[in-house]
Amino acid sequence: MGSRPVSDDDVYLNEAVQIAAKILVVGHFAVGKTTFIGTMSEIPPLRTEERMTQAGAHVDDLMGTRGKTTTTVAMDFGRLTLSERLVLYLFGTPGQERFVQVWEDMTRGALGALILVDPERIKESFPVIDLVEHYGLPYAISVNHFDGTPARPDAELREALDLLPETPIVTCDARDEKSSANALMALVRYLQERTR
């Protein structure tokens, strides 16, 4: 059997194909992952939040979380079109250690991770960074500045998080679309550089 000739329709379809990239938005408990995805998603985000109860008080440390009443129990999902050719699918992971088993499935097919960090709770980011590195995902750090948190120099944060010199580190406010977009773009640029 011979192959059929290429038609104008085939050329058009090939030019119209979008590239879908899976990006994880990760971080420790109550760092702002759900807020970040809600801010960036062009579609109503899928959220699997449940009300926190007294039963979870002994496992979820609410110190410094400022009025948190819900928590993600499976994942968050959003979509962001960066160009006619590139669409990002954003998957937010639960932050508590008891949900680590969902990470393995979520990392499959992911191109990279944006790790949200609370500058007031740096130590809580260590297990998250370890997990991302365990699964071999390239990542960027986004320091989520909450109301009233003092700014810290990047060099200080880089040293505290023990980051490689090439690992991007940016600041954002997960509630602000522009600064969140800048954080996401820092990761996308880093991923593009790694493929050159």
- pLDDT per residue over 93-127, tens digit each? 886 565 667 778 889 999 999 999 999 899 999 99
Residue spans of alpha helices (H) in the chain: 8-16, 33-40, 101-107, 126-134, 154-161, 177-195
Q: What is the pLDDT of residues 31-65, one digit of tens each?
A: 999 999 999 999 998 766 556 455 444 454 555 55
The DSSP annotation for 147-193 comes to: TTPPP--HHHHHHHHT--TTS-EEEE-TT-HHHHHHHHHHHHHHHHH
By residue count, the chain amounts to: 196
Q: 56: which DSSP letter? A: G
Question: What average pLDDT is seen over the chain?
Answer: 82
Residue 127 tokens, joined: 């297990």
Q: What average pLDDT does this structure show over 189-195? A: 93
**Does the pLDDT at position 25 exceed 70?**
yes
pLDDT band at 10 (very low <50, low <70, confident <90, very high): very low
The Cα-based distances of 124 to 32, 63, 139, 163, 178 in angstroms read 13, 12, 17, 15, 26
More reliable by pLDDT, 172 or 50:
172
> Measured between alpha carbons, how far apart are the two ends of the chain, in Å?
39
pLDDT value at position 61? 53
Strands 110-117 and 139-144: parallel
pLDDT value at position 11? 41
Spatial contact of 135 and 109, defined as CB atoms under 8 Å apart: no
Give the helix, strand, coil percentages of the chain, each rounded to 5: 35, 25, 40
Query: Counting beta carbons within 10 angstroms of the beta carbon of residue 113, is it exposed (0 to 12), middle (13 to 18) or buried (19 or more)?
Result: buried
Residue 46 tokens, joined: 């899928």
pLDDT value at position 143? 96
Q: 44: which DSSP letter? A: P
Residue 17 to residue 20: CA distance in whole angstroms: 9
More reliable by pLDDT, 53 or 180:
180
Residue 31 tokens, joined: 């760092």
What domains sit in the chain, N to C, each tagged with a CATH number? Answer: 26-195 (3.40.50.300)
Spatial contact of 179 and 173, defined as CB atoms under 8 Å apart: yes
